[in-house]
Amino acid sequence: MNRRDFIRASALAGGGLMLAFQATAQLDNTAASEEMLGDFIRITPNGDILFQFVKHEMGQGVSTAMAQIIAEELGADWQRVKIDFPLANMARYQNDRNGGHDTGGSCTIIYQWDLLRKAGATARQMLVTAAARQWKTTEANCIAENNFVTWKGTSRKLSYGELATAAANIPVPIDIPLKESCSYQIIGKPKNAKLVPDIVTGTIQYGLDVQLPGMLIALIARCPVFKGKLKSYDATQALKVPGVKKVFTTQPIAGLQTDAPYMPHDIREGVVVVADTFWAARKGKEALEIEWDEGPNAKYSTEDFEHLAERRAMHRTDPTGYIGDENAVSNLTHVRKTLRASYIYPHQLHACMEPLNCTVHMQPDGCEVWMGSQAPNLIVSELKRIYHFPEEKIKVHLFPSGGGFGRRYYPDMAVEAAFISKEAGNVPVKMIWTREDDHQANLAHLFQYMEYQVALDKDSNLYAWYEKEIRTYTWAAKYADPQLPSMAYDIPNIRFDFEDMIADELVHSSAWRGVVSHGRCYSECFLDEIAAELKKDPYEFRVSLLRHGRDIYTGDQYPVSAKRLLGVLTLAAEKAGWGKPLEAGRGRGIAICPYGNSYCAAIAEVTVRDQKLTIDRITLAADCGNVINPSGAANQLAGGVVWSLTALLYGGLPIRNGRAIYTNFHQNKLLRMNECPKIDVHFVDSDDEKPWGVGEISTPLGVPSVLNAIYAATRKRIRKIPLAANAFQV
């Protein structure tokens, strides 16, 4: 990559340094492709370092980790670093994943790493130059650290705050050397998340907490059946509720939003109640009389859908990729025995603790939006597409959110709220999804049906692996490039088939923390089945298949490294005490996986007595390269396991006659403290100096590791979750 950096500095009104860092990167092989990258720091005269955070903080800790990176190179006093949430700016932060607002795929830190270090180092150099000029000495005599520039060998020092305004007038230097990792004082050190003090005092503002003068509250009664439509409604009673101002339909904006630039979303038809308070809007909503045309899904249920998936799984499609002989499982000359199994990962709800919401104030020539969003860029592009406002007239205020998990990537909330604000007479409106709406008319995690078959040769070696994935969600082209299972096991013949079920959907599928890795990690259960067939220890069996140590190209962005998988597997086994005897009714299970370019292993320890399952302990080992914030990363890995255990025990989104059965948390249970196992997190001392993602890496592992542990304890194979619906008392 041939990269030229442009850094602009300017004096802040009221004194101080504003550093805008932009780089134009040009890929050598695609001369026309040009990306803008950007970020900011502001240094105020009193010495506060205000990190301009343009990504989305949804609990994954990136605001703190990004600030650590820039603060390290800047030589900042960590206590003086603060997180600022500026307005979204499409011109400055273009949506190219690297520099844009877009937050997802566990990519934020890795894509920002170089940029933030350069930005910090450049600002530090400018402060040094400013000090050297003031003292009339050489820059080599000046050391910048801990928010001060000091003159070596003297007692003279100037604070960053005192230097900021002078530094802003210095020409921006280029090619500033970066620190050696051995001298890091902030990167790699456990730091408490910057937002914690505001969280524990209740002063942090999420999108749902926005208050504006004259603001109204809107709730929507959405069609309970996917693909259904509004037939008629009567608002007479609703309009009698004190505080209810207006009732109208969302039909003009409803439907599948396929014109969206990517990641199509769905807006269900509904009836809006606008009122002065949430409570009045809720009473008004309950008083609505609505008749729905339930459409093609009116008689469709989860069982029908799963049967359809099962039938699809039975036949072969064109492989999306293969190694060796694509039909090796059927090769009678070599094959002694075949094993076959299918696994289901059902739809899941995101259930973000902060219910979905968006506040919009429409005006004749533009609008303002207040929302915690993973993709404010999509909000801008959707509002531009629908209302033809120029980008600069769509002001999006960025907020942290009470959980995103992929759901807050989609811009449907902003489209709904903008429409409502306009119809309500261009007044500011906060549109809220009730928790019941969240359960009954929402996008959901994609469904996966995994079909596996393996062939063993006469020496009981793993000769061929066949895998077919059936899924309800794709990004764009369905695997335009060859794709293989996400694993690095030494198997001479591997084949991967894929089929989508988008046209047959029960609900609109979307990305859910961990996305496609969940179903695809069932390969770790099937591998356990093979080990059991061969009477091999699940750990030793994996080690034997990974010992080759090579990188396997599976069609994903990064190859899967057998060496790194082996590294996390070995560490987890050591820490979990793999092989130590357990009493009857107890068992351990392993699962390992890559995610992006991170690797993780989980070892679950369970007790099953009288069909009652207790998950005692989960030991995690991760290789995420350079860990920026060990405290935040450990929190992510532990939380990711809890995420998967909820899906394992209680998850799913059962649908009967088109309608979601669950209405709220009394039916859709989430894991609670009394069910939470002890979770130990260990990091491999990685050779990799780059910081790879940690937000999703552990999420696919809770399910297969616990299912394998249940098998070890009971000799019972479970191939479908949740366990609560599978004769297990949990």
Partner 1 sequence: MAKIQLLINEKRYTPEVDPDMPLLWVLRDIVGLTGTKYGCGIAQCGACTVHLDGKAVRSCSIPVSTIGERKITTIEGLSRKGDHPLQLAWVEEDVPQCGYCQAGQIMQAAAFLKQNAHPSDEEITKAMTGNLCRCGTYQRIHQAIKRAATTTTTQPPR
Provide the binding-site residues for partner 1, judged by CB under 8 A. Answer: 58-61, 190-193, 195-197, 199-206, 208-209, 211, 217, 242-243, 277-280, 283, 351-355, 400-405, 432, 434-436, 631-632, 635-636, 638-643, 664-666, 670-674, 676, 678-679
- Residue 413 Cβ, how far from partner 1 at the closest point, in Å? 15
- Residue 672 Cβ, how far from partner 1 at the closest point, in Å? 5
Residue type, 517: S
- Residue 676 Cβ, how far from partner 1 at the closest point, in Å? 4
Cβ distance 652 to 518 under 8 Å? no
Residue type, 419: F
- Residue 15 Cβ, how far from partner 1 at the closest point, in Å? 29
**Of residues 649 and 713, the one with the C-beta less far from partner 1:** 649
**Of residues 470 and 642, the one with the C-beta less far from partner 1:** 642
DSSP labels for 468-490? EEEES--SSSS-SS----S----
Cβ distance 600 to 620 under 8 Å? yes
- Residue 635 Cβ, how far from partner 1 at the closest point, in Å? 6
Q: Which one, of 663, 659, 660, lies nearest residue 298 by Cα? A: 659
- Residue 689 Cβ, how far from partner 1 at the closest point, in Å? 25
Q: Which one, of 443, 439, 446, lies nearest residue 412 by Cα? A: 443
Sole residue written with tokens 């209740």? 202
Instruction: Compute CA 357 distance to the chain's CA centroid, rounded to the nearest angstrom.
Output: 19
**Of residues 202 and 581, the one with the C-beta less far from partner 1:** 202
3-state secondary structure at position 378:
helix
**Of residues 219 and 593, the one with the C-beta less far from partner 1:** 219
**Of residues 276 and 574, the one with the C-beta less far from partner 1:** 276
**Of residues 194 and 265, the one with the C-beta less far from partner 1:** 194
- Helix/strand/coil (H, E, C) string of 233-298? EECHHHHHCCCEEEEEECHHHCEEECCCCCCCEEECCEEEEEECCHHHHHHHHHCCEEEEECHHHC
**Of residues 124 and 285, the one with the C-beta less far from partner 1:** 285
- Residue 166 Cβ, how far from partner 1 at the closest point, in Å? 35
Distance (Å, whole) CA 432 – CA 412 = 12
**Of residues 539 and 662, the one with the C-beta less far from partner 1:** 662
**Of residues 415 and 432, the one with the C-beta less far from partner 1:** 432
Would you say how long the chain is, in residues?
Answer: 730
Distance (Å, whole) CA 483 – CA 495 = 9
29, burial (CB in 10 Å: exposed 0-12, middle 13-18, buried 19+): exposed
- Residue 615 Cβ, how far from partner 1 at the closest point, in Å? 12
Distance (Å, whole) CA 448 – CA 73 = 44
Strand partners, 455: 338, 464
- Residue 352 Cβ, how far from partner 1 at the closest point, in Å? 7
DSSP labels for 60-115? S-HHHHHHHHHHHHHT--GGGEEEE--B--TTTS-SSSSSSS---TT-HHHHHHHH
**Of residues 99 and 400, the one with the C-beta less far from partner 1:** 400
Q: Which one, of 592, 296, 271, 647, lies nearest residue 448 by Cα? A: 647
**Of residues 257 and 421, the one with the C-beta less far from partner 1:** 421
- Residue 204 Cβ, how far from partner 1 at the closest point, in Å? 6
Strand partners, 358: 431
Q: Which one, of 234, 236, 253, lies nearest residue 244 by Cα? A: 236
- Residue 11 Cβ, how far from partner 1 at the closest point, in Å? 34
**Of residues 352 and 516, the one with the C-beta less far from partner 1:** 352
Q: Rounded to 5 degrees, what angle do the CA atoms 449, 103, 598 make?
A: 60
**Of residues 117 and 407, the one with the C-beta less far from partner 1:** 407
- Residue 618 Cβ, how far from partner 1 at the closest point, in Å? 11
The torsion angle over the Cα atoms of residues 547, 548, 551 and 555, rounded to 10 degrees, is -90
**Of residues 203 and 251, the one with the C-beta less far from partner 1:** 203
Residue 392 to residues 227, 369, 396, 554, Cα–Cα distance (Å): 34, 12, 10, 41
Residue 416 has which token pair? 């709904």
> What is the rounded radius of gyration, in angstroms, for the C-alpha atoms of the chain?
27
Q: Where are the alpha helices (DSSP H) in 521-657?
A: 523-533, 538-546, 562-576, 630-649
- Residue 209 Cβ, how far from partner 1 at the closest point, in Å? 4
**Of residues 440 and 483, the one with the C-beta less far from partner 1:** 440
- Residue 212 Cβ, how far from partner 1 at the closest point, in Å? 12
Residue 11 to residues 43, 170, 171, 666, Cα–Cα distance (Å): 10, 10, 12, 55
**Of residues 243 and 577, the one with the C-beta less far from partner 1:** 243
- Residue 640 Cβ, how far from partner 1 at the closest point, in Å? 7
Cβ distance 414 to 358 under 8 Å? yes
Distance (Å, whole) CA 517 – CA 593 = 9
- Residue 81 Cβ, how far from partner 1 at the closest point, in Å? 16
